[in-house]
């Protein structure tokens, strides 16, 4: 019996390639998202530290110029944090979209793998039946009853 060949092997290889590419893109997006989260954490810590310094400065009785400078700096930090939050929101949306693409690629590939497995099972069943038929022919040919005919 001839060797098993899956007719859609090239399609399966292509789907595997697509799946790997989509996963690589997802991994890159996750790395960028984690970097943004780290930046947000750092900026939040900076903002909270500056707020404490500002409160201490106000209690100490600093000059109006110093207080205004701190207030402007705090406002700039808040704006940066807002921009960062927007970037995080967009990053999360991109992650969600890419995750859906990876899931779709996995489904496509898995469907072909299931088809290949079923065809391989059929191939083995046919090979087994062929082997049994050959054995029966061999036994019948070697049997003394067959010699009388």
For each successive 10 residues of the chain (149 residues), what is the average pLDDT?
88 96 98 98 95 88 87 95 98 98 96 95 93 89 63
3-state secondary structure the chain: CCCCCCCCHHHHHHHHHHHHHHHHHHHHHHHHHHHHHHHHHHHHHHHHHHHHHHHHHHHHCCCHHHHHHHHHHHHHHHHHHHHHHHHHHHHHHHHHHHHHHHHHHHHHHHHHHHHHHHHHHHHHHHHHHHHHHHHHHHHHHHCHHHHHC
Please state the separation of Cα 113 from the chain's center in Å.
18
Long-range own/partner contacts, residues 81-85 (CB < 8 A, 24 or more apart): 81/40, 81/43, 81/44, 81/47, 84/36, 84/39, 84/40, 84/43, 85/40
Predicted local confidence at residue 145, as pLDDT: 60
* pLDDT of the residue at 97: 98
Q: Rg of the chain over CA atoms, in angstroms?
A: 35
Rounded CA gap, 96 and 26, in Å? 9
Q: pLDDT at position 61, please?
A: 83
């Amino acid at each position: 019996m001839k060797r098993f060949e899956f007719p859609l092997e090239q399609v399966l290889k292509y789907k595997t390639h697509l799946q790997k590419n989509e996963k690589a893109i997802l991994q890159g997006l996750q790395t960028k998202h984690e970097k943004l989260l780290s930046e947000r954490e750092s900026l939040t810590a900076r903002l909270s530290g500056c707020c404490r310094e500002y409160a201490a400065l106000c209690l100490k009785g600093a000059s109006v110029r110093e207080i205004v400078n701190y207030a402007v700096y705090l406002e700039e930090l808040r704006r940066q944090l807002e921009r960062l939050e927007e970037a995080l929101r967009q990053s999360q949306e991109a992650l969600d979209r890419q995750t859906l693409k990876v899931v779709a690629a996995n489904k496509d590939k898995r469907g072909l793998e299931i088809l290949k497995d079923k065809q391989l099972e059929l191939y083995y069943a046919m090979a087994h039946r062929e082997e049994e038929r050959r054995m029966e022919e061999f036994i019948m040919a070697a049997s003394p009853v067959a010699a009388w005919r």
